[in-house]
Amino acid sequence: MNIEELRDYCLQKPGASEDLPFGDQTLVFKIGGKIFLLVGLERGDRFNAKCDPERAIELREQHHEIVPGFHMNKKHWNTVAMDGGLKFSFLKELIDHSYDLVLASLSKKQREELGNIGSDLSL
């Protein structure tokens, strides 16, 4: 996966938007105003994604390409290398997991404002 494919995939997510809130070197993807993925534009070879804390530990133990989130809460975020060591489908699964976690954290009202995305989520 390269940075263009990453961007395209993130923006295909319902309600997703992109922004540069931390300057022109960090592209941020959000749902409902909350971040679900960040990628540095200078290198573009890794991204930060939210992750369930228990799963984050397992992923880090299983894949050397996944480490605690750089400049993030290391309990909830992973930095994932896009250097070819992980399959494209697995990278998409990690992005989906991050998006789903953030979507689930939104209020019912926020999800309704986004067009009932995730209306089947029970919170």
CATH number for the domain spanning 79: value is 3.90.1150.30
The answer to whether residue 104 is domain-embedded is yes
| 60-96 per-position pLDDT tens digit | 999 999 999 888 878 899 999 998 889 999 999 999 9
| 21-62 per-position pLDDT tens digit | 999 999 999 999 999 999 999 888 999 999 999 999 999 999
Q: Which of 57, 53, 20 is nearest to 39 (CA)?
A: 20
For the entire predicted model, the pTM comes to 0.89
d(CA 88, CA 92): 6
The answer to whether residue 108 is domain-embedded is yes
Domain count within the chain: 1
d(CA 113, CA 61): 38
The answer to whether residue 105 is domain-embedded is yes
Instruction: Provide the β-strand partners of residue 26.
Output: 40
- Collect all residues with Cβ–Cβ distance below 8 Å to 59 and sequence separation of at least 6: 51, 66, 78, 94
The answer to whether residue 35 is domain-embedded is yes
Structural domain including 69 reads 3-113
The answer to whether residue 120 is domain-embedded is no
The answer to whether residue 51 is domain-embedded is yes
The answer to whether residue 71 is domain-embedded is yes
The answer to whether residue 86 is domain-embedded is yes
The answer to whether 54 and 61 have CB atoms below 8 angstroms apart is: no
